[in-house]
């Protein structure tokens, strides 16, 4: 099945329109100069955007989760820290709106707490 450009038009979100939750896209349409003075219209160029505090919190929580998971065999304390990092990742997921991820991280936190208690 061959799709034409017009058939795909509804599948793409133009970058200048507001996306989910009213956020602007991180891409902007611009004309890009080519050699010989020709212009290639509407190339997508990534804009520089600052990370918001919620994204930084999520990145720190997931990074801590991976670090403490890797160090679990060294000491019991890392199992407890892994459980705490899972709770932080769960809180991030619920705050961000990805509740299935939040539920999974909450379950992982319970599993890690049980492993810490038994160990």
The predicted-structure confidence for 13-33, as pLDDT tens digits, reads as follows 445 445 555 555 555 555 555
Residues 85-97 have a mean pLDDT of 95
| pTM score | 0.59
Residue pair 69/91 in contact (Cβ under 8 Å)? The answer is: no
Q: Enter the tokens of residue 10.
A: 């509804």
Could you tell me the residue ranges of all domains in the chain?
A: 5-46, 53-118
DSSP-assigned letters across all residues of 6-72: HHHGGGSPPTTS--GGGPPPSEEEEEEE-GGG-EEEEEEEEPP-PPPHHHHHHHHHHHHHHHHHHTT
């Amino acid at each position: 099945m061959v799709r034409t450009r017009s058939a795909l038009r509804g599948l793409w979100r133009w970058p200048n329109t507001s996306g989910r939750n009213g956020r602007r896209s991180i891409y902007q349409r611009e004309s890009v100069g080519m050699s010989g003075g020709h212009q290639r219209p509407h190339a997508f160029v990534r804009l520089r955007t600052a990370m918001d505090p919620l994204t930084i919190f999520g990145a720190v929580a997931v990074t801590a989760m991976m670090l403490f998971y890797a160090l679990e065999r060294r000491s019991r304390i890392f199992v407890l820290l892994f459980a705490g990092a899972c709770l932080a990742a769960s809180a991030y997921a619920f705050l961000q709106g990805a509740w299935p991820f939040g539920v999974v991280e909450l379950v992982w936190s319970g599993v890690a707490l049980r492993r810490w208690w038994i160990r």
